[in-house]
Structure 1
Amino acid sequence: MSVVDELRALSTEDLAKLLEETQQELLNLRFRLETKQLVNHRELVRVKKKIARIKTIMRERELGIR
């Protein structure tokens, strides 16, 4: 099962909660980047893509696409 399929299996409330947690994770990564504590810069890209996937699925549901 792909990541997108796993996200689509979640309820809208679970997606909203996951979005909030992921945005908080991104904020923490940005702070770590600025304080030179972040070793793997790819983590920022990974988290940003996860946020985009969650928002896309939420928007699809809003529009009734899927």
Structure 2
Amino acid sequence: MFKITDLIDLQTLAESVELEFKQAQGQDGQGKLPQDFWPTYSAMANTRGGYVVLGVKEKKGQFIPVG
């Protein structure tokens, strides 16, 4: 498993069928899971599995931690 220890590690990753990033801050900023989390979770559960990393948004191909 790849351990993310800093922003450079985060930037070296790319979304794939086994890795997905979600902002997940919720409308009120309290961290509610986004609606599109569950289809992603289900797809991964029905295949080889994977990781959903919460608290990261994508902007112009770069991943930025939020919250």
TM-score range, shorter chain: 0.3 to 0.5
Q: Which has the higher helix share?
A: 1
Q: Which has the higher strand share?
A: 2
How does the TM-score come out when normalised to structure 1? 0.32
Q: Highest CA radius of gyration, 1 or 2?
A: 1
